[in-house]
């Protein structure tokens, strides 16, 4: 295949030829910061924001460095996605859930300390605790028992508790929102 064929964009694809940081010294790959900028420009926020949060939490880049590479009005979508990065997600699936809940108009507070329970993934309207369960931290019997104790203490503390899985967040987001709004009832959403 000729080089010009490789460089041409296929239907629905964009070739990102510009780089702002040096590529990997030995491998034919683009630098992480450039990859993140391209992801912010081309992918939906639920895909790009978790990647950027992960890189920032790991110290691989900084917010200002990425923002400086998104100038002008043509980067509005990327800028909005970067503005949604707040480093409160402890996992990628929590970031996706935060975007889902806030995108529906909910004023969820992430990583809130609840007395007698500990830190919960989200608190909404001061009474609704929303936990997102990934398999990595809920895979053994001890974790299962710990979660049941936390569930019980949440209810004893006067909170309403909803738990959702990775599959719920990724494949049934409308069902999550329906359940959350059913619990919130006629309360106004901020």
Residue with tokens 């409308």: 174
Which pLDDT belongs to residue 190?
A: 54
Q: How far is CA 80 from CA 28, 84, 127, 169, in A?
A: 30, 6, 29, 21
Q: What is the DSSP secondary-structure string of 100-117?
A: HHHHTT---EEEEEETTT
Q: How far is the CA of 1 from the CAs of 5, 56, 81, in angstroms?
A: 7, 38, 36
Predicted confidence at residue 137, as pLDDT, reads: 58
DSSP line for 27-88: SS---HHHHHHHHHHHS-HHHHHHHHHHHHHHTSS-HHHHHHTS-SGGGHHHHHHHHT--S-
- C-alpha triplet 181, 154, 92: angle, nearest 5°: 65
pLDDT in tens, the chain (190 residues): 444 444 455 555 555 556 666 666 676 577 788 889 889 998 999 999 999 999 999 998 999 999 998 888 888 899 999 999 999 998 999 999 999 999 999 999 999 999 999 999 999 999 999 999 876 655 688 888 988 999 999 999 999 999 999 999 999 999 999 999 999 987 655 5
What integer pLDDT is reported at residue 107 of this predicted model? 92
Domain boundaries, the chain: 17-83, 92-184
Q: Would you state the pLDDT for residue 143?
A: 82
The CATH code that applies to domain 92-184 is 3.40.960.10
Residue 6 has a pLDDT of 44
């Amino acid at each position: 295949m000729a080089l010009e064929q490789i460089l041409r964009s296929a239907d629905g694809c964009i070739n990102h030829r510009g780089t702002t940081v040096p590529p990997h010294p030995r491998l034919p790959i683009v630098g992480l910061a450039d990859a993140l900028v391209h992801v912010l420009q081309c992918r939906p926020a639920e895909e790009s924001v978790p990647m950027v949060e992960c890189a920032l939490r790991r110290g691989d880049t900084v917010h200002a460095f990425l923002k400086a590479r998104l100038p002008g009005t043509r980067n509005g979508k990327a800028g909005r996605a970067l503005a949604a990065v707040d480093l409160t997600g402890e996992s990628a699936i929590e970031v996706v859930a935060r975007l889902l809940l806030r995108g529906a108009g909910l004023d969820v507070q992430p990583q809130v300390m609840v007395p007698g329970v500990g830190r919960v993934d989200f608190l909404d309207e001061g009474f609704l605790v929303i936990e997102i369960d990934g398999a990595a931290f809920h895979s053994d019997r001890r974790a299962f028992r710990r979660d049941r104790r936390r569930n019980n203490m949440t209810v004893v503390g006067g909170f309403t508790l909803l738990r959702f899985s990775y599959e719920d967040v990724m494949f049934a987001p409308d069902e999550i929102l329906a359940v959350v709004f059913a619990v919130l009832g006629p309360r106004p959403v901020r």
